[in-house]
A and B are shown apart, each in its own frame.
Chain A
Amino acid sequence: MDYGFTEQQQEIVNLARAIAQKKIRPVREHYDQTEEFPWPIVEELRKVGLFGVYLPEEVDGLGGGNLELVLAAEELSKACGGIALCVATSSLCALPILLYGSPELRKKYLPDLATGKKLGAFNITEPGAGSDATATKATAVLQGDHYVVNGIKNFCSTGKDADTYVIFATTNPNRGARGISAFVVEKGTPGFTFGKKEEKMGIRANGTYELVFQNCKIPKENLIYKEGYGLFIAQLTFDYSRPGVAAQAIGIAQGALDETMSYIRQRKQFGQSISSFQAIQHMMADCATQIEAGRALLYATVRAMDASNGPAIRKAMEENKVVADCMNELDTKRWTKESGMVKVFCSDTAMRVATDCVQMCGGIGYMRDFPVEKYMRDAKITQIYEGTNQIQRNEIAMMMIKEAASKSKKDLVAA
């Protein structure tokens, strides 16, 4: 379907597709099996400039928005959702800096993330704080010109292979949710090491690590925005980034269906190709319909988000201000509900489609030397990270109730 992309957006699609199909597809099994980090592919992505498509030109990005990021993530994920993840985690690290960072912090960290010279990671999760980030236990104590961080963060994607990390720790345990703050930490900072590497079901090309902080000193300037703003920062970041997970999901679903279509047309049983059976045809039609519905929701939502966020980001760049402050000044809409909807719909679609693709292929679909089972393993994570789909539904419902309440209040005033 023609979604009316700009020339630049079409170039992103073409380039990401070329890398996905020519460079990633031939090696994805290798990285899935070995769990090595795909450095040669990172180098390709760097060279063509796919890391910074959504970042402003002022910080060496291409000047696009969320749609540009989503298009790159979708195309790369069609070949391998695990390898594509390094682009997403770099954006997850860049976004809190873009949205809440001071102009100085932006200038210091975003250009290297935009060019891909450095990879980024983002870690809010802890062993005791998953869905409930308010339970964060890691601490950051201000001592003179630096914070001293202690604690264990876990499940960090691109864990050991990033250079720049955004992490969350409490600066005031007495204040609970309002005591959590966000920091930028560089790899190699004394007191910052890596713990356990997880063994995973899917997205195995991207290592998931524990981050260990033992009296780790972070310069005071690396606090993002103000103390106590950590969860606001995380929420605004997720509002922006969850469509990226949706894009990964849609890419995985489409990749699985493409592989399946080429197999079921040539596989013969009962003297005919299995794609001639109506039971299979209905399954493929449902898969394609759900993917297209997800994609349409995804593109429509990020377009609306870009139109809404764009002016605040531009204003912040031009006037040397913090983006979130400009959003407040311009009364920019919050996208929590819509971005949750996109993530839920597309990731549930990916899981269903990938499962049906294995079913359509039959026994071979279950085998490791055939590409479809990997899509099913990779699809599962999209329902879990950046907030499980249960949490998304909670947030969607909460926003609905708030909206309904404020509407009935308005109606009351009007009446």
Chain B
Amino acid sequence: MHIVVCVKQTPAATQVPVDAATGKLKTEGLPYGLNPWDEYAIEEAIRIKEKLAGSTVTVLSLGPARAEEAIRAAIALGCDEGAHLVDPSFDGTDNMGSSYLLSLGIRKLNAAKPVGLVLCGKQSNDNESGSVAPALGAWLDWPSVAYVRKFASIDEKLAKIERAAEDGTDSLEVDLPAVVSVIKEINEPRLPSLKGKMNSKKAPVAKWGAAELQAEAAKVSAGGRLEIVGQTPPPPRGGGIVVPGATAQEKAAFVANKLKELKFI
């Protein structure tokens, strides 16, 4: 089976400052890495590849030049090759535009070697919209399932999967090809092997711009249809309380008072 994993390179930081003047995230100079959720998609792709003989995994990423690092990081884990969608006109596109471009990339890959499954992380750790994978399914007109926590079985034609729902689990059968986004419960991502790391430096990564993808400019225009009104960092978490007191009794009394104050007791 030809599996495509979509990955995004995102800031590898939990605190990203907001530029007061522009209201945008200040991402310059931040360390970047694989979007953590994508690591689960990569791991699942490699596990399916290991199960279904003759499978290959292609890593697909949309992003600036540095996004190639994320593609090579995925190859180091066991993917075979990469495709990088990169073009100045792609910068700043919204989720609709991103999913459109990724769908064009997948069509191109599919034309070369039919794709059986597209895997994505459930969301990215920067925008956290969770909309790219479902939109990708819509653009491709393939079935798509989000929040998947298990592949019960898979062959060339059909996948039996479990989707996490608020009130339990949905067991689904999905005709392939399909787009599936996965959650953390699905597996435990491996570390890259040294040989994988060294091979990843030499693996082929195709570069496709607007011309190669025959992308319609209107669908990817910067900013797209999304208007960002403002951005603020989440409020910092309050620190804990150090329980004062010289003896166990004093400490216990302090805790009891505090609990009463908070109306827990």
Contacts and interface: CB of A to CB of B under 8 A. Distances in A.
Nearest to A10: B197
B251 interface: no
Interface stretch (A46-54, A78-86, A305-313, A385-393): A46-54
Interface residues on A, range: 10 to 19
Interface in B198-238: 198, 201
B191 A11 contact: no
Nearest to A14: B197
Interface in A101-117: none
A19 B198 CA distance: 18
B248 interface: no
Contacts of B196: 49
A11 B193 contact: no
A11 B194 contact: yes
A114 to B, nearest CB: 11
A47 B195 contact: no
A324 B62 CA distance: 53
B191 A53 contact: no
B192 interface: yes
Contacts of A44: 191
B198 A48 contact: no
Interface string A25-50: 00000000000000000001001111
Contacts, number: 30
B47 interface: no
A263 B128 CA distance: 38
A195 B193 CA distance: 36
B199 to A, nearest CB: 11
A12 interface: yes
A294 B193 CA distance: 29
A62 B194 CA distance: 8
B66 interface: no
Nearest to A11: B197
A404 interface: no
Contact of B195 (A7, A18, A19, A49): A49
A253 B221 CA distance: 57
A280 interface: no
Contacts of B191: 15, 18-19, 44, 47-48
B190 interface: yes
A15 B198 contact: no
Nearest to B190: A47
A67 to B, nearest CB: 14
Residue from A7, A11, A12 whose CB has the most chain B CB atoms within 10 Å: A11
Interface of A: 7-8, 11-12, 15, 18-19, 44, 47-50, 53, 62
